Amino acid sequence: MRLTERGGHPPHPPTTMPRHWLMKSEPDECSIDDLRDAPAGTLPWTGVRNYQARNFMRDEMRLGDDVLFYHSSCPEPGIAGLARIAGGPVPDGTQFDPASPYHDAKSTPDKPRWLQIDVSFVRKTRLLSLAALRAAPSLQTLRTLQPGNRLSITPVTDTEWRAVLRLLQD
């Protein structure tokens, strides 16, 4: 996830009931601290190159939706904070940048393949490790814990959201 120029489609209107998401980021690319320290505590979520994750951003995410900010591909993966969907979806500018690791030569500005969505900082939490998530009976259905799941964005049910918040209070 990197800061890029914005533009494109207007954001979806907010819904009356926020949805919940788990969004993974490698902390050496963008950590919960990077999000907190960003201008206005908001960054575009860029670099998503999976169609299902892109479709979640395009079709289901709404302004105000809750986010579990998950550190992945690091010594101790887990939920590191809470965030909120703050804008988007719009074309991800990294797909057009030949110098970007997320460049997609087949994507064009008039037919972009990839989207980004703005995410804003809510609060940093203690790290709720992958082991702690797996050990919680109330989280056995959490999609990110399912065998073979490699998606960087997954929906979280109301029950799972409340269970994570309870674990963070312990």
Residue linked to tokens 């998401």: 21
Structure tokens at 15: 């819904």
Structure tokens at 149: 């799941």
CA 23 to chain centre: 3
Q: Is the pLDDT of residue 45 over 60?
A: yes
Query: Is 58 within the bounds of a domain?
Result: yes
Query: Is 151 within the bounds of a domain?
Result: yes
Query: Is 134 within the bounds of a domain?
Result: yes
Encode pLDDT of 98-156 as tens digits.
Answer: 999 999 999 999 999 999 999 999 999 999 999 999 999 999 999 999 999 999 999 99
Q: What are phi and psi of 101, to 5 degrees?
A: -65, -15
Encode pLDDT of 2-25 as tens digits.
Answer: 443 344 444 444 445 779 999 999
CA pair distance 17, 87, nearest whole angstrom = 16
Give the CATH number, domain containing residue 121: 3.10.590.10
Q: What is the pLDDT of residue 170?
A: 78
Query: Is 160 within the bounds of a domain?
Result: yes
Query: Is 10 within the bounds of a domain?
Result: no
Encode pLDDT of 58-86 as tens digits.
Answer: 999 999 999 999 999 999 999 999 999 99
Which domain covers residue 51, as residue numbers? 20-169
Query: Is 89 within the bounds of a domain?
Result: yes
Query: Is 92 within the bounds of a domain?
Result: yes
Q: Is the pLDDT of residue 37 over 60?
A: yes
Give how many domains the chain has, as a whole number.
1
Q: What are phi and psi of 62, to 5 degrees?
A: -135, 155
